[in-house]
Amino acid sequence: MAEADPPGPPQDEAGKVQDAQDSDSETESGAASGETEMDFLRNLFSRTLGLGSGKREKLLDELSLEGVTKFIQSDQCQNIICMVGAGISTSAGIPDFRSPTTGLYANLEKYNLPYPEAIFEISYFKKHPEPFFALARELYPGQFKPTVCHYFIRLLKDKGLLLRCYTQNIDTLERVAGLEPEDLVEAHGTFYTSHCVSSHCRKEYDLGWMKDKIFSEATPKCEKCQSLVKPDIVFFGETLPARFFSCMQSDFQKVDLLIIMGTSLQVQPFASLVSKAPLATPRLLINKEKTGQRDPFLGLMGMGGGMDFDSDKAYRDVAWLGDCDKGCLALADLLGWKKELEALVKKEHAAIDAQAGAGLHPLGATGKSAQTDREPTKAEKGQQPQ
């Protein structure tokens, strides 16, 4: 996946132009008054970017899961964005990438790679595709069931609260759980479609075609030009889908609450999304460890859009540490949704088992999961344009 520097810190819309004008008039006076160079730069950046170094008023009644619950239940919370990574799929049996002993990168010795990440590098793939397709047989979509975490996101959708789910995952479990393509930004691509890698061809292939090739242990080759065919997942060295950037521009102007789950926030530009949330937007992290925290140096300058859970200036960020499924259950319990969530998981898993017994893929032929009865979402009522 293409590495890029995260964009600059978010800005307050209100007063942004005035602050920038003020900074021009204060530049000379600040320098003349004998400020140190660091103080001068810090104040200049803070004023220009609308990021004052003073302590802000808390956005939640308390910086806890209870505080987030009250916010979700209030009229202030209409549009929730979820950012998710491999940690929401581990309870389904899919390994994450970076756990020291159980992660994917720690268990790739059998593929004789020069280094673990090579299996997802486009240049290595074009020369040596076999390791990737061998791994794909082990982790192929359709062999796993969505987790409690996936269905919690589905519940947010059913209740008309989900603006979008941004996922780093390529396992398609968000789709299996009932999210529609318009609900998703699959930042690192998807297995659902595949394309010939030749720029002169680019013939598209569907999920069934790719599955047949992978499980016959044949390296997928284009029927038109005999070049390699690759699932539409984003490898290191490739750009992210255009949808990632177009949705990001509009979605993060509307977001009321950002929920981040199961991601190390180490891969850019996905990780930089946390800094896109406006300063008046609370952010909840559900993860085994704290991630995405601001750079200490930028913090000293009053800058940086990273998470701040522990400083005396923390005002909007909450961390719930532990298993993602347990975190979603805890939040659902506080919201009064726990029984509904557990019933949804049970019902959907039974439906997937029935499909498997009939020899059907959980995504069927359309890439959409069978939907259970539910209330219309805000988008379907015309209140939340996509």
Mean pLDDT of the chain: 79
**188 belongs to the catalytic site:** yes
Query: Would residue 164 count as lying in a domain?
Result: yes
Same domain, 259 and 245: yes
The DSSP secondary-structure symbol of 196 reads: E
Query: Would residue 67 count as lying in a domain?
Result: yes
* pLDDT above 50: residue 374: no
Same domain, 213 and 255: no
Q: What is the pLDDT of residues 205-250, one digit of tens each?
A: 998 899 899 889 889 999 999 999 999 999 988 889 999 999 999 9
Question: According to the model, what pLDDT value does residue 138 have?
Answer: 76
Same domain, 114 and 225: yes
Same domain, 251 and 299: yes
Q: What is the pLDDT of residues 133-153, one digit of tens each?
A: 888 887 776 678 999 999 999
Q: What is the CATH number of the domain that holds 307?
A: 3.40.50.1220
Same domain, 183 and 221: no
Same domain, 280 and 154: yes
Same domain, 272 and 334: yes
* pLDDT above 90: residue 166: yes
Q: What is the pLDDT of residues 262-295, one digit of tens each?
A: 999 988 889 999 999 999 999 999 999 999 987 6
Residues at the binding site for NAD(+) are 86-90, 96-98, 168-171, 263-264, 287-289, 324
Same domain, 196 and 169: no
Same domain, 276 and 137: no
Q: What is the mean pLDDT of residues 30-34?
A: 42
pLDDT confidence of 104, banded at 50, 70, 90?
low
Q: What is the CATH number of the domain that holds 210?
A: 3.30.1600.10
Same domain, 348 and 226: no
Query: Would residue 196 count as lying in a domain?
Result: yes
Most confident of the ranges 14-18, 35-39, 196-200, 359-363: 196-200
**One of 150, 188, 200, 361 is an active-site residue; which one?**
188
Same domain, 299 and 338: yes
Q: Of the ranges 87-91, 201-205, 285-289, 356-360, which one carries the lowest mean pLDDT score? A: 356-360
Rg from Cα positions in the chain: 23
Residues at the binding site are 86-90, 96-98, 168-171, 196, 201, 222, 225, 263-264, 287-289, 324
More confident residue, 235 or 362: 235
Question: According to the model, what pLDDT value does residue 317 have?
Answer: 96
Residues at the binding site for Zn(2+) are 196, 201, 222, 225
Most confident of the ranges 77-81, 101-105, 234-238: 77-81
* pLDDT above 80: residue 42: no
Question: According to the model, what pLDDT value does residue 57 have?
Answer: 81
Same domain, 282 and 322: yes
Domain assignment of residue 325, given as a range:
59-93+146-188+240-358
pLDDT confidence of 111, banded at 50, 70, 90?
confident
The DSSP secondary-structure symbol of 377 reads: P
Query: Would residue 125 count as lying in a domain?
Result: yes
* 138-143 own/partner pairs: CB under 8 Å, 24+ apart: 139/94, 139/171, 140/191, 140/211, 140/214, 140/215, 141/170, 141/171, 141/172, 141/173, 141/176, 141/191, 141/192, 141/207, 141/363, 142/172, 142/211, 142/361, 142/362, 142/363
Domain count of the chain?
A: 2
